[in-house]
Structure 1
Amino acid sequence: MGFLIGISGSIIVDQGGRFPGYKRAYVNNDYIESTALSGGVPFILPVLEDEEMIKAQAESIDGLILSGGQDVNPLLYGEEPTTKTGSPFLARDQSEQLLLKHVIDQGKPVLAICRGLQILNVAYGGTLYQDMSDIKEAFIKHDQYNNTSDPSHSIMIKDGTRLHDLYGNQALINSFHHQAIKDVAPGFEVSAWAKDGVIEAIEKQGDQFVVGVQWHPEMMAKKHISMLNLFKLFMEHVQQSAGKKVSM
């Protein structure tokens, strides 16, 4: 049997059709395909409120992918929402923060993507820019409108990081975000920046694989093997982590 990879889900509400107002748990299919292509068994984790159930979610999986989605509620990092912030989903924020902390406390690998990166940072004490227009130095377009599988700008990668081991000094990424990390959470380091200084990736210090990226590698993985390789690296650490657990 393969390794079970939990992918954090969201809720979508039908706006029309036969069941207007009907709520559905979902994740975008690119996450599922990228997980399967890298050797994992994808498993959707719905938004929950009960902490014991969330803890059980964490215990049942071998690794966690935090998916993209809505803006993180600014109240979680000590700010009032400005007119530039979208519509947060507080229940999802709270569910994912608990899930994330249980997974990390259990020593399991985490790959956090786009919003997932932001939740990771906020959960451990970091803050966000509520809109890219709040960053005076930002001159790169960070919300692209071209093909989702195509790169839109480059990033610079810090030597000695997991991303540097994978990509070297630079990589080309896609970009779909209007918020960004402001203050990095204690215990984490920045591993990649855009050329305008916007933070594009962070990694947890120490041996545990906890990597957050601001771009969407799952959208690029079929067309660009380098992005599938990020999922494969994650899976290597999942296998190592699960092996340690079995041998204990």
Structure 2
Amino acid sequence: MDRTLTGKTAFVSGSGQNIGRGVAVRLAQLGANVVVNGSSNTQACEGTATAVRAHGVEAMVAMGDMSNAQDVERITKAALAQFGAIDILVNNAARRPHKPFLEMSDDDWNGVVDVALTGSFRTARAFLPGMVEQGWGRIINFAGMKAIKGYYEGAPISAAKHGVWGLTKALSTEFASKGITANAISPGQIAKDGGDTQDPKRVGSIPAGFMGTSEDIAAAVGYLASPEARFVTGQMIAVNGGETT
């Protein structure tokens, strides 16, 4: 695999397992150092960091809740102190609780929006100055097929992810002239680490005939983070086996 990201550093939120872990490892394979983040499972994040280091790059574990302003400030400052700049920002952390809309409290709503949308705003605000200074950067946010369609009993998920899509488009226009791209990935049905990609309850709606894996999403992130994607910005890439077109 080409080491096209050698010398770059990536921050991947929610990277202890599943999609986030796959993204962190793929970026390491491409030569990037990685800041691994999780909110509570330190052991899982340390496991991701070990997998990252196996590719001959540096890894830093930065635990903290992306919905908490103080945590995000602490994490981002520590990452910048360690690496000087973050070149690639991947906002993957999310919460996906299910509850009927009329039973939803303010805390239910804010808990989702603060992680996915406000957390993405805070990390971008922290790392963009360094990207602007060096004239190069990649911001990759996550939407989600069900969130974009409308999440049943998941109004805050859909609202937050639509907000992330709006934030992505705004950043793409404002910072394109600075050598910085901002894009979103909308995953379809993705099996968990080691999960069955042929789950009969789920594959019937997927034209490809199988569920995706973390590696499928990581491959798309690897492309968007690469120098080859310099002319791709403000886009949402759906990785879903043809389930939506």
| Structure number with higher helix proportion | 2
Question: By the TM > 0.5 criterion, same fold?
Answer: no
TM-score, normalised relative to structure 2: 0.42
| Structure number with higher strand proportion | 1
TM-score, normalised relative to structure 1: 0.42
